[in-house]
Amino acid sequence: MLYDTAISLQLNDFTNTEDTVEVLEKLDQTLHIFYEHASHEDKVILPEIGRFNATLAKEFDCEHEKDEFMTRRINSLVAGYHNAGSAEGRIEGGDAISRAFNEYVAFNLYHMNKEEEKINPVLWANYTDEEIRGIERILVATITNEELAITSKWMLLGINDAEIIAWLQAIKFNAPCFVFQSMMELAEKVLSTHRWNKIQGGLTEGLLLA
């Protein structure tokens, strides 16, 4: 989602205000999803981490605050673009938005790598797999249907085939049938025909082995 938004900004002609509206809507959606993502972590994950490593929990809380500051800065630049009175001003405004978002992308990639390297080991060392799944269920319950639809699309587009098969199998065995069916329909819609055929084959094989 980050990469797609960054490329859209990079390719956009900011003198064309009609096309730019669509790109800025994509930017706004990305910033909103990442804000909600951090909020879920603040409410569910960081308190669990804080029970065993308060310093680490505080470190990530501070990074979420920095992320929010960067979001406000980008939104301010977007407002400046809308107030630009000339083509030159819109070009300058668009360049500023793109540069600020590139910094945002770089920071979030760094931040998410740190989560893998620092937060996961704390969870693994102090919780059983079933307890971690319980925490996950609590977190998922805080996600709205609208947010879940958006993030599910990008999850499918952002992971490899084996990961998609394992994910869909987990949904098949742990969620209501209508949830699994809706995810299958979404996968068919957003994946290429080649990938979708591989996913179907992998799911069939996995279910037969189970």
Closest CA to 140 of 151, 156, 126: 151
Query: N- to C-terminal Cα distance for the chain?
Result: 33
* Sequence-distant (≥ 6) Cβ neighbours of residue 199 within 8 angstroms: 161, 164, 165, 168, 187, 191
pLDDT at 206: 61
Instruction: State how far the Cα of 126 lies from the Cα of 49, in Å rounded to an integer.
Output: 9
What's the residue count for the chain?
A: 210
Question: Domain 1-142 falls in which CATH fold?
Answer: Four Helix Bundle (Hemerythrin (Met), subunit A) (1.20.120)
36 to 2, 41, 54, 73: CA distances (angstroms): 15, 9, 22, 17
Q: How confident is the model at residue 15 (pLDDT cuts 50, 70, 90)?
A: very high
Question: Where does CATH 1.20.120.520 sit in the chain?
Answer: 1-142
**81 neighbors 94 (Cβ within 8 angstroms):** yes
What is the structure's pLDDT at 209?
A: 47
CA torsion through residues 178, 163, 132, 32, sign = negative
Give this prediction's pTM. Answer: 0.89
d(CA 141, CA 139): 5
Examine the pLDDT at 208 and tell me if it is beyond 50: no
Write out pLDDT tens, residues 135-187: 998 998 889 989 999 999 999 999 999 999 999 998 888 888 988 999 999 99
Write down the mean pLDDT value for the chain: 94
Q: pLDDT-derived band of residue 204, with 50, 70 and 90 as boundaries? A: confident
